[in-house]
Amino acid sequence: MALRKLVAGNWKMNGDRAALAELDAIAAAAVDHGGVDVAVCPPFTLIAPAADRAPGLPIGAQDCHQNAKGAHTGCISAAMLKEAGARLTIVGHSERRADQHETDAEVRAKAEAAIGAGLTAIVCVGETEAQRDAGQALAIVEGQLDGSVPPAGTGDTLVIAYEPVWAIGTGRTPSVADVAEMHAAIRAKLAALLGEEGAKVRILYGGSVKPDNAVELLGVADVDGALVGGASLTAAQFVPIIAAAASLG
């Protein structure tokens, strides 16, 4: 089943109010290419101004806390994100799994909190280079899915992003065959975890997606879109990726 593609930008800890000017052309491209979904996830402080500036463009966060409120200094709840204008949030990005020591169980709880607050959750998984070299890539990703996919996730509320850690920000990407093998394995695991709904959950590829490799990566079976870091920071780089997704239907 071909799912509607989603191209989501992850600005990470980049961008300021001046950078929101990039959203004008990104939002226009999203309208031009109405056959694909587009979203941008800026830093927390830019969510509200981004949503104001580009009301038609889904704006997301890059993390949320698993609890609704309480004594969690420096954290932010899913409902707060929703109130600020977010429609989705990334959870379990490998940078957070590494830097903030987030576990699969925490990632699942964050995804459940996001969905409970009315946000779509993009749950990230992916192996390190050492794990791939040891032949463990499939087992690692399947284990992350077992631990971090919310059982109530649906095609409307849940997205998976497969991001090999060694491909993030490096300019390196897996072979088409390796992407195909991994996305097929993720699809099978989603069916096992979610039943029929597992066929409707989009599986994004992420890690050094650029205008010049987007058609190749997005054309792989069961690649239902892309999670884009560096190349989402400017419309000049991000719009061609949106167009590539649209060209594949």
Helix segments in 119-211, DSSP class H: 129-133, 137-148, 176-194
* Distance in angstroms (rounded) separating the CA atoms of residues 94 and 18: 28
Question: Is 142 in the active site?
Answer: no
Q: Which of 93, 102, 112, 183 is catalytic?
A: 93
Q: Are 213 and 1 in contact (CB under 8 A)?
A: no
CB-closest chain residue to ligand PGA: 229
∠ CA 42-8-11, nearest 5°, is: 30
Pattern of binders to ligand PGA over 162-201, x per CB under 6 A?
-x----xx--------------------------------
Q: Give me the least distance between CB of 58 and ligand PGA, in Å please.
A: 16
- Copy the structure tokens of residue 102: 């987030």
CB of residue 185 to ligand PGA, shortest distance in Å? 20
Is position 10 an interface residue for ligand PGA (rule: CB under 6 A)? yes
Distance of alpha carbon 24 from its chain centroid, rounded? 21
CA distance 107 to 91: 6
Stretch that binds ligand PGA, among 14-22, 76-84, 133-141, 203-211 (CB under 6 A): 203-211
Kindly give the pairing relationship between strand 60-61 and strand 6-10.
unpaired
Of 151 and 171, nearer to ligand PGA (C-beta) is 171
The answer to the question of residue 206 lying near ligand PGA (CB under 6 A) is: yes
* Residue closer to ligand PGA (CB basis): 35 or 169: 169
Distance of CA 231 to the CA centre of its chain: 14
Catalytic residues: 93, 163
Q: Which residues bind ligand PGA (CB under 6 A)?
A: 10, 163, 168-169, 206-209, 227-231
